[in-house]
């Protein structure tokens, strides 16, 4: 009798615990929150599985990127601006109003120790691989493991992500910070354990994003604050304070520099807008982004023809697949509202971050929308996994094979674009390095100043400071700083170079450049 009462007691306790857990989950789920991993993909699924998958994707991503994009690729214009801020090799290039110094900080451990481009690129590649894991790390307890790993793989497969993985450019790290911030936000306001660590991670992710690119962080913060207002269970003061505190901490260096160099934040915003041709409402942003999808690296003015239209199917399919992922989440039997909320938030944040690039700028670059792609990769991966799991058991191998084939074809198409753009950039950047080498052979040594066409990259590799053509009136023949002007053939030289030493250089692609070297007291050029 006692044994029967004991068994009944145990069964009652188990029923009470289970019912309490499910009841608590439903309360949070109705508000759009998350519940335990067991409600998502079974209590027996080990939590380490997505971690291992993320690590493998990151390793493969880094390895493929190093092979596909040579570490010896010279730095581009924007890279030189960012890298030169902490470089031991050359003076700092002019840092304009729209820029932020977060990416320069990331590059500092390499550029402060060596002038080697290969070391810098290897360092940035390692950071990119680690960043991929960090970005999708909080999602491992919000979504099934295959979805998280699949999202990371989808994002890492894009040619623009592969190309910029070892570049000293902010957009990839904005994508990382954005994805991490949205994930930690869900943990902080509706996760199974609303810990102080999640709040700190949320604030740190937004602060990091703001350090790298303030405008993107503002749009992201506005989207998260709107989500906190829209969902009752997310209206928590500490979550809002984490978002606002992280944003304020990340914007502080930008604001301090605005007062120190640009006359205040408003003046810096106006200067940044002017530098970008003026930010204004436009409906042409979508078409310009599409024309720039497969290159060129900067479409400004964006009047170029659409490159490789046949390889752009994924761009049109992404919003459709993301919407299908949301639909499958809504129709799921178990914890459907939770799936919908967890996938809807990154989708909404992607829309918010994309506004400035699709509707406020009249020029485009493939890298601008990387944060959007990183966020939409989550519902897209959920769609693929949902299709595979919804298929009857006997059809699942065939469905999985088709999905694998489609993804393989997508990766192959991305590699074709990557190969072409890498070759183009290698050729154009190598030409500027050759001109810098010729200038060094003629006797251009630091301290020196270089101006002309594309002066920033040539000056960096020559160890000189760069000066825009509008400032060349400051050049004097009595200066102790060696001065030079580099212009492509066919372009009229500045009037002040009339009595300067002139020499020409023919590049391997038969392009001819003219170099104008200023008289220097006690020195003769070797041209």
C-alpha to C-alpha distance for 502 and 484, rounded to whole angstroms: 10
Given pLDDT bands bounded at 50, 70 and 90, which one contains residue 435? very high
The confidence score (pLDDT) of residue 333 equals 54
pTM of the predicted model as reported, rounded to 2 decimal places:
0.89
Give the tokens for residue 138. 């909080």
C-alpha to C-alpha distance for 317 and 501, rounded to whole angstroms: 57
The confidence score (pLDDT) of residue 300 equals 84
Q: Which residues contact 313 (CB under 8 A, 6 or more apart)?
A: none
Least confident of 372-376, 386-390, 417-421: 386-390
Q: Are strands 482-488 and 448-452 parallel, antiparallel or unpaired?
A: parallel
CB distance 350 to 379 below 8 Å: no
Given pLDDT bands bounded at 50, 70 and 90, which one contains residue 48? very low
CB distance 145 to 42 below 8 Å: no
Mean predicted lDDT score pLDDT of the chain: 86
Sequence spans of domains, the chain:
40-276+310-341+370-390, 432-517
Q: Are strands 448-452 and 465-466 parallel, antiparallel or unpaired?
A: parallel
The burial of 18, by beta-carbon neighbours within 10 Å (0-12 exposed, 13-18 middle, 19 or more buried), is given as: exposed
More confident residue, 445 or 49: 445
**Helix-, strand-, coil-residue percentages of the chain, each rounded to 5:** 70, 5, 25
Interval 396-426: pLDDT, tens: 899 999 999 999 999 999 999 999 999 999 9
Give the tokens for residue 92. 């700092």
Residue 30 has pLDDT above 50, yes or no: no
C-alpha to C-alpha distance for 34 and 325, rounded to whole angstroms: 17
Q: Is 431 helix (H, G, I), strand (E, B) or coil?
A: helix
Question: Measured between alpha carbons, how far is residue 41 from residues 35, 122, 389 in Å?
Answer: 11, 37, 11
Interval 194-228: pLDDT, tens: 578 999 999 999 999 999 999 999 999 999 999 99
């Amino acid at each position: 009798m006692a044994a029967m009462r004991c068994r009944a007691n145990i069964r009652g306790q188990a029923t009470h615990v289970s019912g309490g857990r499910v009841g608590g989950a439903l309360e949070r789920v109705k508000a759009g929150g998350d519940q335990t991993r067991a409600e998502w993909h079974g209590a027996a699924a080990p939590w380490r599985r997505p971690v291992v998958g993320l690590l493998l994707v990151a390793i493969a991503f880094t390895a493929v990127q190093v092979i596909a994009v040579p570490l010896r690729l010279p730095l581009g214009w924007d890279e030189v601006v960012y890298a030169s801020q902490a470089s031991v090799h050359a003076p700092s290039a002019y840092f304009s109003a729209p820029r932020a110094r977060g990416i320069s900080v990331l590059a500092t451990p390499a550029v402060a120790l060596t002038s080697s481009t290969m070391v810098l690129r290897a360092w940035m590649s390692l950071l990119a691989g680690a960043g991929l894991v960090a970005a999708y790390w909080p999602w491992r307890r919000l979504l099934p493991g295959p979805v998280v790993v699949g999202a990371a793989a989808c994002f890492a497969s894009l040619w623009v992500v592969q190309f910029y993985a070892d570049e000293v450019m902010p957009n990839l790290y904005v994508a990382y910070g954005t994805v991490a911030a949205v994930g930690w936000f869900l943990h902080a306001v509706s996760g199974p354990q609303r810990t102080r660590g999640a709040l700190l991670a949320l604030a740190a992710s937004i602060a990091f994003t703001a350090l790298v690119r303030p405008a993107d962080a503002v749009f992201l913060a506005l989207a998260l604050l709107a989500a906190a207002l829209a969902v009752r269970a997310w209206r928590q003061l500490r979550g809002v304070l984490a978002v606002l505190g992280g944003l304020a901490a990340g914007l502080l260096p930008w604001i301090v520099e605005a007062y120190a160099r640009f006359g205040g934040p408003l003046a810096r915003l106006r200067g940044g807008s002017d530098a970008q041709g003026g930010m204004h409402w436009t409906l042409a942003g979508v078409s310009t982004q599409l024309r720039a999808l497969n290159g060129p690296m900067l479409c400004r003015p964006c009047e170029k023809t659409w490159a490789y239209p046949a390889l752009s199917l994924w761009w049109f399919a992404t919003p459709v697949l993301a919407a299908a992922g949301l639909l499958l989440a809504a129709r799921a039997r178990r914890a459907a509202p939770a799936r919908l909320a967890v996938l809807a938030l990154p989708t909404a944040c992607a829309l918010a971050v994309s506004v400035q690039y699709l509707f406020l700028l009249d020029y485009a670059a493939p890298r601008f929308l990387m944060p959007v792609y990183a966020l939409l990769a989550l519902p897209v991966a959920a769609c693929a996994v949902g299709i595979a799991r919804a298929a009857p058991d006997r059809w699942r191998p065939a469905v999985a094979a088709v999905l694998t084939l489609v993804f393989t074809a997508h990766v192959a198409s991305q590699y074709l674009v990557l190969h072409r753009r890498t070759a183009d950039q290698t050729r154009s950047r190598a030409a500027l390095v050759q001109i810098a080498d010729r200038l060094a052979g003629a006797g251009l040594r630091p301290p020196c100043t270089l101006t002309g066409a594309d002066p920033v990259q040539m000056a960096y590799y020559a160890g000189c400071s760069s000066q825009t053509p509008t400032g060349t009136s400051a050049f004097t023949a009595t200066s102790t700083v060696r001065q030079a002007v580099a212009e492509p053939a066919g372009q009229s030289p500045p009037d002040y170079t009339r009595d300067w030493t002139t020499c020409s250089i023919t590049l391997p692609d038969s392009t001819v450049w003219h170099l104008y070297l200023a008289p220097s007291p006690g020195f003769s050029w070797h041209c």
